[in-house]
Structure 1
Amino acid sequence: MSSIKIPTAFNIDLEFEAADTGKRLLAYLIDSAVRIVFLLALIFLDSQVLHIENASLDGIYYGIVVAIPFTLYFFLCEWLMGGRTPGKAAVGIKVVSLMGNQPTAGQVALRSLMRFIESPMVFCGAVALIAIARSPYSQRVGDLVAGTIVVDTKAKHSLDQTIFRNIAVDYQPQFFQILKLSDKDLNKVKELLDRAVKQQDFVLAHRVAERVKTVLKIDTQMNDMMFLETLLNDYNYLVTRA
């Protein structure tokens, strides 16, 4: 399994593990099974429950209710589920952009369009397999075009893994400049801070703190880890209470 380093907004690389071909194939098989079950369920609904006898209505039913969701399955799932499909979620992989954040609707659309030439029905899926094998980030053609990668992640998300903090009503923020950063930037800071605290990596904490100070033009002698914690607290207070 290859390691992928993605540069953050603070010029510090985050590491991800590229999803191996076996997991991607298993996810595809699971998603294919879901699509088939969905198709059979709608056919059963038509034949056993709805009993649509009008040819025009029957055509509309199969053209809109059946065909569109079936065809757009991967696009809709990856867009609405933040880079996942039921199959990807089951095996613990997801699609992310090359910046490490959730893919945009446009990126997901490009990935989905390229499935027409990467489908197992076209040269037994050789196009996708060759691209994955030759790409340093294990990207298929759709990933290369859309600027995305598929990473292996078994992380369980909770409020502790976000920038959310319970802040006292009488809290006094110190660094109002923090509002210049986006939620995505703050999440990167939180992720790097958690790693530094867990590994007692004071060098990493110092690099992140110095980069933030430079970007926000902050001058403080506060301890690096305390400074980053204060930034997150300030952001929570200013956004939710101020």
Structure 2
Amino acid sequence: MAIYINTNQNVQINFEISSIGDRLLAYLIDALVIGGIAIGVLFIGAATEFALGMFLMFIPIFFYHLICELFMNGQSVGKRSRGIRVMKKDGNPASFSSYFLRFLLRPIDSFYGLGLAVIFFTNNNQRLGDLAAGTVVVNIKSEDDLKQQIRQEMNINPHEGIKYPEVAQLTEKDIEIIRTILHNRVESKEHHVVHELAKKIAEKINVEYDKDWAYYFLQRLVQDNYKTHMEE
């Protein structure tokens, strides 16, 4: 089970939805971490006033998941150990409101295993908190792995500089059109559509290009667009 997301560079990234098993293991690990925090705070509380100790214990336990997801990019200790994290269904990082909605509905999800039951009946293994927040929990790769995946698809040399900084003037729609034409004309690089598009784009951003290499000019623009967004 997976979701497919188009990045700002118009490259499709495949994120595998985390399994129920991984989520359960992450939950158990987090429970152990919370238990450890509670024991540590109790020792602190014993050396101070009891009421203060109980208050100190309440904060990290009650807000554990919200604090972790906010400051660990959608992960808790358990999620990080299992290589999973929370993200929006459209591929963007979850916002504070998304994390807060998940946090508010966590007690309901925990009520008699309701959240686990809902996960079984949703396409993307979402609990009630995920459905309300528009989030999913996915298996992730490191940022380096994701960048490498994009470079391979676009045949990008990471050590090559930006040739056309004017590409910043193009919109995401412009880049998407260029990528579509390049994909459709990979076997006919001299097609008139390629030349017409290259001419219009060159005029739009006011650059000179070799008319005999229109296809490669467009390809370089896509690569420079990638570098502008991902390598800065």
Q: Structure 1 vs Structure 2: percent identity of aligned residues?
A: 28
1:156 paired residue number: 142
Task: Work out the number of aligned pairs and report it.
Answer: 195
Q: Distance in 2 between matches of 1:77 and 1:128?
A: 20
Amino acid across the alignment from 2:95: T
The answer on whether the counterparts of 1:167 and 1:233 sit within 8 Å (CA) in structure 2 is no
The answer on whether the counterparts of 1:27 and 1:91 sit within 8 Å (CA) in structure 2 is yes
Stretches of structure 1 lacking an aligned partner (at least 5 in a row):
194-201, 207-213
**CA pair 204-21 structure 1, distance change in 2 beyond 3 A:** farther
2:127 paired residue number: 140
Q: Of 88, 107, 110, which residue of structure 2 is paired with 1:97?
A: 88
SS of the residue 1:114 aligns to? helix
Q: Distance in 2 between matches of 1:43 and 1:3?
A: 43
Where in structure 2 are the equivalents of 1:54-93 lying within 5 Å? Answer: 58-63=50-55, 65-93=56-84
The answer on whether the counterparts of 1:88 and 1:94 sit within 8 Å (CA) in structure 2 is yes
SS of the residue 1:101 aligns to? coil
The Cα of 1:176 is off from its aligned counterpart by 3.4
Structure 1 residue ranges (4+ consecutive) displaced by more than 6 angstroms after TM superposition: 9-12, 165-168
In the alignment, is residue 227 of structure 1 matched against residue 227 of structure 2? no
The Cα of 1:79 is off from its aligned counterpart by 1.1
The answer on whether the counterparts of 2:74 and 2:94 sit within 8 Å (CA) in structure 1 is yes
Amino acid across the alignment from 1:157: E
Deviations 1:45-89 (A, max 9, x none): 222xxx224xxxx323422x2211210100110111111111001
Q: Distance in 2 between matches of 1:31 and 1:42?
A: 16
The Cα of 1:4 is off from its aligned counterpart by 2.1
Q: Of 101, 110, 113, which residue of structure 2 is paired with 1:110?
A: 101
The Cα of 1:166 is off from its aligned counterpart by 6.9
2:183 paired residue number: 203
Q: Distance in 2 between matches of 1:72 and 1:225?
A: 48
The Cα of 1:229 is off from its aligned counterpart by 1.3
Amino acid across the alignment from 1:3: A
C-alpha RMSD of the superposition: 3.6
TM-score normalised to structure 1 length? 0.67
The Cα of 1:152 is off from its aligned counterpart by 1.4
Q: Distance in 2 between matches of 1:13 and 1:236?
A: 15
Stretches of structure 2 lacking an aligned partner (at least 5 in a row):
151-157, 187-196, 203-213
Amino acid across the alignment from 1:71: F
The answer on whether the counterparts of 1:39 and 1:70 sit within 8 Å (CA) in structure 2 is yes
TM-score normalised to structure 2 length? 0.70
**CA pair 33-160 structure 1, distance change in 2 beyond 3 A:** closer
